[in-house]
Amino acid sequence: MSRKNNPYEMALKQFDAAVSHMDLDEGTVKYIRSIRRELTVTFPVEMDDGGIEMFTGYRVQHNNVLGPTKGGIRFHPNVTLDETRALAMWMTWKSALLRLPFGGAKGGVAVDPRKLSINELRRLSRRYASEITIIMNPESDIPAPDVGTNPQVMAWIMDTYSWLRGGTAPAVVTGKPVPLGGSQGRLEATGMGVMFSAREAMKYNGIDPKEATVAVQGFGNVGSMSARFMHELGSRVVAVSDVYGGIYNSNGIDIPGLIEHARRTGSVTDFPGSEPITNEDLLAMKCDVLIPAALEGQITEENAPKIQAKIIAEGANGPTTPGADKILHSRGVFVVPDILCNAGGVTVSYFEWVQGWQHFFWRRDEVARKLEETMVESFNAVLDQHEKTGLDMRTAAYTLAIGRVAEAFEMRGIFP
C-alpha cells in the first residue's frame, strides 16, 4: 500500500463524503469524527536465544456512545498508528450499521508473527496484553482476532488479563477457543457474512449464484472462509491469491482441497490443476464477484478502470480508496462496502460476548441463523437507503451508521 493511500485519511474522506449528504449539528460532527483515546506502547520481549527485542503496539478507541469499544488486534509488520485509527473508526460504523451495542476500537503490534517461535509469540502476546490492560476490560474495550492473530492469541490475552485482575474474565476478548468460552461459528463468521452479502447482491443484480464466477484476493481466515462458503453456495471460484502469488482455473478451483493445500504448504501457489496468475491479474479478471480479502488500499484509481467484476464484496477493511470508489460507481460496479460485507465477525463476536456474560452457549446452527438474519436485515436497510437517496452503497451505509451514532451522542449529551 502506497503512502498516498493512508488508511486514516481514507476513513476521514469516507466520513466527510457521507456527512455532506446529512443534516447534522457541526459540534456533533466534530465529536464523532474525532478519536476518543489512543495508546502507544513500546515493550521488550525476551527471544528464544536470550536476547531482547523491542516492539511497538497500539490500542485505539474511536467512539463509545453506543457501548463498549470493540475491535480486533493485528500482528503485522506494517501496523501503524494511522492504520489502527482507521480500523477503529471503521469498527464504529460497522457496529452501528449492524445495530450492535458497541463502539469502535482496534489494536496491533508492528511484528511479523511468522518469524516468531510459538514461545516468542506467546511472550509477545502476553506482554502486549499487559500493556493495554489499563484501557481493556469486558465493560469498556473488548479485543478480538485480526490479521496475524488467532484464537490461541486471544486465549493468552484473556488469561493474562484474568491473572492481572484476579479472576477469570471470558468476556474480555472474543474469538477465543471454544473450550475457553469461545462461540461456535466465530472462526468462519466473517467469511460466512461475506457470502451472505454477496448472495444478496447477486440476487439484487439478477445473477444466479450457481452460475456465478468468483475471484478472491487474500487467503487468510476471511479469504479462505469466503471462498469456501461461495463454493458451497454453488458459485465457481476461478481465482485465488495470497501474499506469495495467485492461481486460476476457469473450470473452478477445488476450494476444500485448496484450503488443505494452503494449510500444508503455507500458500495457495502450486496447487494441482491450476495455473499461476499475479495479484494484478486477479483484480482485473472478468468475473461476477470480486472479493478483496487482503489489506487496505488494494483497489485504487490506477487499477479501478481495469476492474471487470460486476460486484465487489469487500471482505477486507478499506480495500477500496475514495478515488477508486468514484470510478467504480461511474462504471456501474455494485460495491458491497466493508462496514456491511465483513461485519459477520463482529456480529458473532457480539454473540460470544453475550454468551460470555451469561455463561450460556448457543449451538452452531443457532449462531449461523442469527448471523444470517442480522446480515440480510442490514443489507436490505443499506439497499433501501441506496435506492431512496441515489447514493452509492458505501455512502448509503455510512449515512445510516453515522446517523445512529450521532443520534446516540445527542441523546446522551456531554458530561459534565
Confidence of residue 115 (pLDDT cuts 50, 70, 90): very high
Say yes or no: 33 and 85 in one domain.
yes
CATH of the domain at 226: 3.40.50.720
Residue 228 clears pLDDT 90, i.e. is over it: yes
Say yes or no: 129 and 35 in one domain.
yes
The answer as to whether 387 is a domain residue is no
Cell of 415: 458530561
Q: What is the mean pLDDT of the chain?
A: 96
Per-residue pLDDT tens over the stretch 150-177: 999 999 999 999 999 999 999 999 999 9
pLDDT of residue 4: 62
Residue 54 clears pLDDT 90, i.e. is over it: yes
Is 288 within 8 Å of 221 (Cβ atoms)? no
Give the mean model confidence (pLDDT) for residues 409-413.
96
Confidence of residue 258 (pLDDT cuts 50, 70, 90): very high
What is the number of structural domains in the chain? 2
Say yes or no: 102 and 216 in one domain.
no
CATH of the domain at 148: 3.40.50.10860
The answer as to whether 152 is a domain residue is yes
Residue 379 clears pLDDT 80, i.e. is over it: yes
Residue 1 clears pLDDT 60, i.e. is over it: no
Say yes or no: 8 and 147 in one domain.
yes
Question: Residue 102 has what DSSP assignment?
Answer: -
Say yes or no: 35 and 148 in one domain.
yes
Say yes or no: 271 and 219 in one domain.
yes
- Helices (DSSP H) in 20-66: which residue ranges? 26-33
The answer as to whether 390 is a domain residue is no
Per-residue pLDDT tens over the stretch 380-403: 999 999 999 999 999 999 999 999
Say yes or no: 130 and 226 in one domain.
no
Residue 42's beta-bridge partner residues? 56
The label of the residue with cell 503485522 reads: 76
State the residue range of the domain holding 214: 189-341
Per-position b or e across 211-227, b if 16+ CB within 10 A of its CB: ebbbbbbbbbbbbbbbb
For residue 106, indicate whether it is catalytic.
yes
Residue 66 clears pLDDT 50, i.e. is over it: yes
Instruction: Give the active site residue among 94, 106, 176, 310.
Output: 106
Which domain-ending residue is among 341, 370, 399? 341
- Side chain identity at residue 45, one-letter code: V
Q: How many CB atoms lie within 10 A of CB 138?
A: 18
Say yes or no: 231 and 302 in one domain.
yes
Residue 75 clears pLDDT 80, i.e. is over it: yes
The answer as to whether 10 is a domain residue is yes
The answer as to whether 336 is a domain residue is yes
Confidence of residue 359 (pLDDT cuts 50, 70, 90): confident
The answer as to whether 377 is a domain residue is no
Residue 295 clears pLDDT 90, i.e. is over it: no
Per-residue pLDDT tens over the stretch 308-334: 999 999 999 999 999 999 999 999 999
Say yes or no: 224 and 107 in one domain.
no
Side-chain half-sphere exposure of 302, counting CA atoms within 13 A: 7
Say yes or no: 121 and 260 in one domain.
no
Say yes or no: 164 and 194 in one domain.
no
The percentage of residues in the chain with a pLDDT greater than 70, rounded to a whole number, is 99
The answer as to whether 348 is a domain residue is no
Side-chain half-sphere exposure of 404, counting CA atoms within 13 A: 21
Give the mean model confidence (pLDDT) for residues 64-83.
97
pLDDT of residue 5: 76
Question: Residue 252 has what DSSP assignment?
Answer: -
The answer as to whether 353 is a domain residue is no
pTM of the model: 0.94
Say yes or no: 115 and 223 in one domain.
no
Burial of 371 (0-12, 13-18, 19+ CB in 10 A): buried
Give the mean model confidence (pLDDT) for residues 14-20.
97
pLDDT of residue 39: 98
200-to-207, 376, 392 alpha-carbon distances in Å: 10, 7, 16
Query: Where does residue 44 fall: left (phi above 0), alpha (psi -120 to 50 degrees), or beta otherwise?
Result: beta
Residue 2 clears pLDDT 50, i.e. is over it: no
pLDDT of residue 358: 86
List, as one string, the DSSP characters of 218-248.
--SHHHHHHHHHHHHHT-EEEEEEETTEEEE
